[in-house]
Structure 1
Amino acid sequence: MFNQMMIPHHSQALEMAALVDSRTTTPAVRQLAASIRTAQQPEIDQMTARLKAWGQPTEMSGGHGGHRMSGMMSDADMTELTAARGTEFDRKWLSMMVRHHEGAVAMADAELTDGVDAGSRTLAAAIKTAQLAEIARMNTLLGK
C-alpha cells in the first residue's frame, strides 16, 4: 500500500515541480524543484518495479478508498498554483510543497511503523530524511 500510495503522491510533486521554471526566476525555488525531480522520479521507478515484481498494480484499485492522501493538493489548489507568477507563485509553491512533503513524511512514518518489506522500509526512511531536509529549506525561504 505504501508503494501504491506514494507513486501518485510523488507524481503530483513532480507536476508541481514542473511548474517552477515558467513561473519564477528565484534561484532557490528553481533549485528545490530540480532536487525534487532528481529524487522523486527514480523513487517512482523503484516503487513501480517493486510492485510489478510482486504482481501488484501500481495504484490501489478503486482509487484510495475515497480518502484524500495526506498532503495532496486539490484540483483547486493546483489551478491556483498554475495561475500564480513571480513572488506570489514562490510563496504558494513553497507553502503547498511543505504541506505535500509533510504528507509524504507521515506516509513514510506509517511504513516505518507498520511495513514489513525491507526495501520499502529503506525507501521510506530515505524519503523521510530527504523531505524533512527540504521542508527545512522551504520554511527558511518562507521566513519561518
Structure 2
Amino acid sequence: MSTPTRLVSLGAAVLLIVGLSACTAEPEEAAPLPTSPVVQLGAPGEPNRTLSPEEAAGLGSPTYVEQDVLFVRDMLHHHSQAIQMTGYVDERTTDEDIRLLAERMNVSQADEITQLETWLQTRGEPVRDPDDSHAHSAESMPGLLTDAELAQLEAAEGEEFERLFLAYMIRHHEGAIQMVTELYADGGGQESDIDAFARHVEADQGIEIARMKELLAEREG
C-alpha cells in the first residue's frame, strides 16, 4: 500500500474512533445528597425536626389537600364576621386606640379575604361549597359570635361597647388560632401558600390578642 493510501486509511480510522467516542453517552451521575442540614418546621406547638440527607433528598413540593380547602372556606366566613364587628366601631366609640386597632383589622382581613378567594379560584375550587349542608355557626366554628352576641355588640355604645368589642374580638382571634392548630392536626397546611398564611394568622392575631387584653384590662381596672 502506498504512503498516501495508508495516510487516508489512518485518517478514516481516527475519525471513526472519534465519532464512536462522541456517540457514547457518559453515565449519568446520581444527584448528590444535601450536605447542609435541612430543618422541617413543626406544626404550631410542635418542635422542628432535622431531616436526614435521604429524607431531604426525597422532599417534593407538597400539594394542597381537602383539609386546606375547608380551612380556607371556613376562614373566609370567620374573617367576614370580624369585618362586620369592626364596622360597628366608628359610630359607637371615640376611643382612638380601639378605632386604630379596628381599622388595622379591617384592612388586613379584607386583604386576606381577597388572598384566600384567589387561592381557591386559581386551583379551580369554588369559593363556596355548593354541597356544604352545614351552616357556619358559633357551635360549628371556634370563636364565632352568635346572632344574639352580634346584636348585643351592635346595640352597645361608649365604654360598654369598648369592653364588649375587645372581649368578643379576643375570643374571635383565639378561635382563628385554634382553626390553624386543627388544620395542622388534620394533616393540612403542608402546601407552601397555606402554610405561610396559617403561620401569619397565628402570629398576627396573637399580637393583636395581647394588645386587646391590655386595652381590656385598662377598662376593667
Answer yes or no: same fold by TM over 0.5.
Answer: yes
Percent identity for Structure 1 against Structure 2 = 37
Pair member with larger Rg = 2
Mapped partners of 1:50, 1:63: distance in 2:
22
User: Which amino acid is 1:121 matched to?
Assistant: D
1:68, CA displacement in angstroms? 1.8
Aligned counterpart in structure 2 of residue 124 of structure 1, from 184, 198, 203: 198
Unaligned runs of 5+ in 1: none
Mapped pair 1:23 → 2:92: yes
Match of 1:72 in 2: 144
Higher RCO (C-alpha under 8 Å, 6+ residues apart): 1
The aligned residue for residue 133 of structure 2 is 62
Give the deviation of 1:86 after TM superposition: 0.2
What SS does structure 2 have at the residue aligned with 1:68?
Answer: coil
1:117 is aligned with what amino acid? E
Please give the secondary structure, in 1, of the residue aligned with 2:94: coil
Q: CA deviation at 1:46?
A: 0.6
Q: How far, CA to CA, are the matches of 1:107 and 1:64 in structure 2?
A: 17
* Uncovered stretches (5+) of structure 2, i.e. residues with no partner: 1-69
**Do 1:112 and 1:125's aligned partners in 2 also have CA atoms closer than 8 Å?**
no
For 1:126 and 1:38, locate their aligned partners in 2 and report how far apart those are by CA, in whole Å.
15
Question: Deviation of residue 120 (structure 1)?
Answer: 0.9
SS in 2 for 1:69: coil
Q: What is the TM-score normalised by the length of structure 1?
A: 0.93
Aligned to 2:170: 98
Instruction: Tell me how many residue pairs correspond in the alignment.
Output: 144
Which has the larger share of helix? 1
Match of 1:133?
Answer: 207
- Aligned mates of 2:78, 2:115 — CA distance in 1: 14
Per-residue deviation, residues 40-93 of structure 1 (Å, max 9, x unmatched)? 111110110111112222234223587521000010000000000000000000
Distance 2:125 2:149 in 1: 31
